[in-house]
Amino acid sequence: MKRLWVLLALLGALALAQGHTVTIGFTVSKTGKYNVESVNQLHGIELWQKWVNDQGGIPIGGQRYKVALKYYDDESKAERVQQLYSRLISQDKVDFLISPYSSGLTAKAAIISEQYGKIMVATGAASDSIFKLGYEHVYQIYTPASRYLTGTLDMLRAADANLKKIAIVYEDSKFAKAVATAAKAYAEKKGFEVVLFEGYPKSTTDFGPIINKIRAAGAEALVGGGHYADGATFARQLYEQKVPLKLIALLVAPASDEFAQLGDAALGVVAPSQWEPLVKYQQTCGPSPAQFTQMYKDAYGKLPAYRAAGGFAAGLVLQRAMMDAGSTDPAKVKAALDAMDITLFFGHIKFATDPANHGLQLGHEMVQIQWQKQGGRLAKQIVWPLGAKTADLVYPIR
Amino acid sequence: MPEILASVLDGLLIGLVYGLAAIGLTLIFGVMDVVNLAHGAIIALGMFAVYLLFGAGLHPYLGLFVVALLGLAFGVVVYLIAVRPILNAPPLMTLLSTFSVSMIIIGVGTAVWSTSPYNVNFPVTTLKILGYTVTSARLVAALAAVLVTGFLYYFLYRTTLGKAVRAVANNREAAELMGIPSQQILAISFGIGTALAMLSGALIATLFPFTILSGGVYELKSFVASVLGGLGNPTGALLGGVILGLIEGSVAPFIKISWTNVIEFAIFVLILLTFPTGLFGGRR
């Protein structure tokens, strides 16, 4: 009797093994400085895997393919990323790749994926530069840094056709500087006069000198920022010093829920965000924003951050490309990715196909959130783009 | 012009707080020839002390009194454990010992509070001075720094204990021969230096966000202010802090903010080349 069970189990395992599987490989920063963000992204990818396997797998050419994930801890270190992506490709023989979290690590992984000609969907990486190197197999999910603040400026122009003087003040980091430089060029194109364009050191806690300069320059609106700590401090001191700005838009910090701790200083502050649970996109494939948010809440007991949404979206993009290609053949999937033009719960997805920018995200737009008071309590509202908004922009804020 | 004035005023106010931190450092050096490398960590400890007291319902400015007492007690303990046993050993030993204290404070602090930023969130009002907006917190911090310094001078020059501190600083053997218990005086001096560092940390915490690592910046500024004013000279340290703040304030409008440190330290080197013992001379 016991032997019969063993035999049955073996047969069962054999049957499963013979079913089609598509394996997606990537690394996760389970340790090191990107730990929180990267694990968030992993949760999104895992949720996608569960979602698709629960439906019986991906329908490709009349057959169902189950999704298997293969990943390692990259310790947030570039050298580990290169070793591990080589291993994923040559030893583990994965079919497709998803990037690690962060632009820095993704740049390293991209070298390997390109070397082996493996398709890699890059999520958690907003850098433009990776896509200016002539790579043919890397595709970006996030809105690139060069367009981080362009939506903010469009919104500002739409809110106030007469506003002229803006200040762009940014943290001296590679990311924020790239965003600010691109924003300056765009602002000038939009008819704004950039009266102050200046960086501040990463560890700045006293924004007094910068605030004096903003006043002296007579700026009417401010865009800039960098990361959480500096952004929160900057917003607080702008409020304390009663700087008369009609709009304040900062990178990263206001998009975080902790920003509410600033109280009245948070009021009216705008931030670009890759994605927010409240968005109202009309998806053409995959779950709706509300369905994704509910699934995530059921699985992890909290609201999804945009990094998790980005992880799910990366899986969804690969899935859609395989379905469109009707095959897992890399060349066909690549052609499907090049032709892709869809709207997911995450937003519009379309990749650049010209050789100079191949794989750069063209479709996805940042949503602009603003801290507004709702029944006496501070809450984030989506105010831009109009297709995704949940409330009107409050303008001017002071 | 108003912009420069605003910036200089900002620099002056914050410079007074740098000065207070520097007095803590220079006092300990002046009395016992110990360069206290735990100074920055102690400043950070002052920040967290006022934060915790504020969390317990005490207004930050009332909290300052408690922070001063805590600092005094903590300083005496650090002195007895980490400084006294090696006071007569080569100077490198006290450097290593105080550095170890710094590492312990930062290590424990990181474990307890992580390195995330904290804020003392209390209502701040703004005042118009010369047509320029100043926050009340900055004014109070500067005022508190001046008051504490005044109090320190009263203590050093008008009280018996203070005179004993100066006597020990001048010549420890001679002071002992006069019947002054030098070990107790040294312990109290270290305690006062620590209390001043913690007080300056507490004042900074009312202005800016902080982490357990924030003390490092102010430790560096304290060293610069002390050296500018002449090591071991409390008045010099206060003025050194003010000069440092004024340099920061007056160069800021003309250059990119990222360059402030470069200019600040270039001026520092220039002053030292011209006045090797500091602007106001070292004093024991």
Subunit contact A212:B7, Cβ cutoff 8 A = yes
Per-residue pLDDT of A254-309, as tens digits, reads: 988 888 888 889 999 999 999 999 898 889 999 999 999 999 999 999 999 899 99
Name residues of chain B where pLDDT drops below 50: 284
Point out the residue among B3, B119, B258 whose CB comes nearest to the CB of A212. Answer: B3
pLDDT number for residue B61 = 95
A361 assigned to some structural domain: no
Q: Answer yes or no: do A115 and A171 share one domain.
A: no
Which residues of chain A neighbour B3 with C-beta distances below 8 Å? 212-213, 215-216
- CA–CA separation, B177 and B160 (whole Å): 16
- Number of domains chain B is built from: 1
pLDDT number for residue A326 = 95
Q: Which of B43, B257, B258, B260 to mutate to test the interface with A (most CBs of A within 10 A)?
A: B257
Q: Answer yes or no: do A39 and A114 share one domain.
A: yes
Range of the domain at A230: 147-273+367-388
Point out the residue among A205, A209, A215 whose CB comes nearest to the CB of B252. Answer: A209
Which residues of chain A neighbour B14 with C-beta distances below 8 Å? 206, 208
Per-residue pLDDT of B137-163, as tens digits, reads: 999 999 999 999 999 999 999 999 999
pTM of the model: 0.80
Subunit contact A261:B121, Cβ cutoff 8 A = yes
Q: Answer yes or no: do A61 and A123 share one domain.
A: yes
Segment A370-390 shows an average pLDDT of 89
Q: Is A218 on the interface with B (CB under 8 A)?
A: no
CATH code, A373: 3.40.50.2300
Q: Answer yes or no: do A85 and A231 share one domain.
A: no
ipTM for the predicted complex comes to 0.81
Point out the residue among A212, A236, A240 whose CB comes nearest to the CB of B6. Answer: A212
- Number of domains chain A is built from: 2
Q: Answer yes or no: do A199 and A265 share one domain.
A: yes
> Nearest 5°: CA angle at A276, between A145 and A24?
70
Distance from the Cα of B246 to chain A's closest Cα (Å) equals 12
B18 assigned to some structural domain: yes
Per-residue pLDDT of A106-138, as tens digits, reads: 999 999 999 999 999 999 999 899 999 999 999
Please choose, from the candidates A263, A264, A310, the residue with its C-alpha nearest in 3D space to the C-alpha of residue A103: A310
The residue with tokens 């940042």 is: A366
> A153 — phi, psi (to 5°)?
-70, -40
Chain B residues near any Cβ of chain A (below 8 Å): 2-3, 6-7, 10, 14, 116-117, 119, 121, 124, 126, 133, 135, 137, 207-210, 214, 217, 248-249, 252-253, 256-258, 260-261
Which residues of chain A neighbour B207 with C-beta distances below 8 Å? 206
A358 assigned to some structural domain: no
The answer to whether the beta carbons of residues A162 and A130 sit under 8 Å apart is no
Q: Is A201 on the interface with B (CB under 8 A)?
A: yes
pLDDT number for residue B284 = 45
B246 assigned to some structural domain: no
Per-residue pLDDT of A343-363, as tens digits, reads: 999 999 999 999 999 999 999
Q: Answer yes or no: do A35 and A130 share one domain.
A: yes
pLDDT number for residue A18 = 55
Range of the domain at B116: 14-128+135-216
Could you tell me which residues come within 8 angstroms of residue B161 by beta carbon, excluding any fewer than 6 positions away?
B155, B185, B188
